[in-house]
Amino acid sequence: MSEFVELETAPMTTEQVVSITRANNYGTWRMQKTWKPLHVVDAEGCYFIDVTGKRYLDFSSQLMCVNLGHKNPRVIEAIAEQARELPYIAPGYATTARAKLSQKLLEVLPEGLEKFFFATSGTEANEAAFKIARMYTGKTKIISRYRSYHGSTMASIAATGDPRRWAMEPGGKGQGFIFAPETNCYKCPIKHTYPSCDVACVDYIEHMIRNESDVAAIIVEPIVGTNGVLVPPKEYLPRLRAICDAYGVLMIADEVMTGWGRTGKWFCGDHFGEGGVKPDILVTAKGITSAYVPLGLCATTKKIADYFEEHYFAHGHTYEAHPMTTGPAVATIEEMHRLGLVERAAALEPYVQAKLEALKEKHPSIGDVRGKGLFWAVELVKNRETKEPFNTMRDKVEGKALVVDQVAAKMMGMGVAQQAWVSHFVIAPPLIVTEAELDFGIGALDEALALADALVE
């Protein structure tokens, strides 16, 4: 027995940690044979630290979620306070943490969103949104867009436009999801057919609604996240809102990545139209707790909420409104206010834009830079004239070597962790980032892009 205890308490070597992780855990969205996870032991501010003590600038806030930076003392204390006060109670009971968070949400969410379902991730929150939309409207079909990502559970992955859906097919069609063109002004999917464009992508959605029966809702990321930080024209979302109203279709805004100050507003929809574009349902996660604890949110209008006063609300799960997630969320929102992080993201936007535009002038491998607040993409191409990328989505699925991964690996060697996806980088540092840290991160990208420049046609 004592030998067993000794084995359990003996410190692990890095080789053991990595070996056990590889042997017993799945690496997500990858072929397992290429997974060599870095052993991370600490994180603070805008940096995380590996077992050797090397520090890495977290230039994408992990998965675009650690908006407060690592180890914010107030949020950490809120986690401990909640654990001491009430670590768990079933969702059928009221808690102080839940009530306080609900009050905070009414202060920062777009006006009109007044009823909340708390999940533990963005994908679960989207599952709730789809069920609510279908229950409320009595309809089935939901329009999504190509170049979108809405989560990994069955309905959420079925609503995802990017190749992470492909392995689950024919799940999308079987679950009533249909796809519209993405809004990509750099490489428009329909402009070659309609050269004048005039935001034809949103008009095509109206065409879909007219020619489909039974459309309950459309789900959009106001600015597409992982799939390229695609910023729509200013008239896109207001026009889409008008189309939804005209045809009785609900608008679901997926602000899992774009919420919580990331784009220089509390929520991205606030950038568009006079007073912002207000969805019928808003889904968010990630920055709501700065990812310290897993929390997702599905928020609806009072009109939708009132329907369920006399109709059965057929959704729920064990961890809904978990006190250990709602309590720290209150502290997160308070810290965002105290530190002025929404305003900070907006103020740093021109600084980041100027730096990235300068990179584009210097490097022939950069086809486009685009973004808002502290949410930017740098898109690589092997030919600026044709806008042809070095790699395709199918290359990613088939496990082929990607140029963006090579550039990101070079940056990692220089102490900068950068999120790469198929043909672009997502630059989204913690909202506490300094200009000096931005210079360091962009400087590493500048140096590493020599790898891509050498492959330009």
Q: For the whole model, what pTM was predicted? A: 0.94
Give residue limits of the domains in the chain.
38-71+341-453, 73-339
End-to-end CA distance of the chain: 66
Q: How many whole angstroms separate alpha carbon 372 and alpha carbon 232?
A: 11
- Give SS3 for 200: helix
The per-residue DSSP string of 83-124 comes to HHH-S---TTS--HHHHHHHHHHHHHSPTTEEEEEEESSHHH
Total residues belonging to the chain:
457
Radius of gyration of the chain from its Cα atoms, rounded to whole angstroms: 22
Q: What is the pLDDT along the chain (457 residues), one digit of tens a residue?
A: 445 445 567 889 999 999 999 999 999 999 999 999 999 999 999 999 999 999 999 999 999 999 999 999 999 999 999 999 999 999 999 999 999 999 999 999 999 999 999 999 999 999 999 999 999 999 999 999 999 999 999 999 999 999 888 888 876 556 799 999 999 989 888 875 555 677 889 999 999 999 999 999 999 999 999 999 999 999 999 999 999 999 999 999 999 999 999 999 999 999 998 889 999 999 999 999 999 999 999 999 999 999 999 999 999 999 999 999 999 999 999 999 999 999 999 999 999 999 999 999 999 999 999 999 999 999 999 999 999 999 999 999 898 999 999 999 999 999 999 999 999 999 999 999 999 999 999 999 999 999 999 999 9
- Strands 47-50 and 40-44, sheet pairing: antiparallel
- The per-residue DSSP string of 238-300 comes to HHHHHHHHHHT-EEEEE-TTTTTTTTSSSSGGGGSSTT-PPPSEEEE-GGGTTTSS--EEEEE
Fold assignment, 38-71+341-453: Aspartate Aminotransferase, domain 1 (3.90.1150)
Q: Which two tokens stand for residue 118?
A: 């708390």
- Say how far apart CA 217 and CA 169 lie, in whole Å: 21
- Residue pair 230/400 in contact (Cβ under 8 Å)? The answer is no
CATH architecture of 73-339: 3-Layer(aba) Sandwich (3.40)
Burial class (CB in 10 A: 0-12, 13-18, 19+), 431: buried
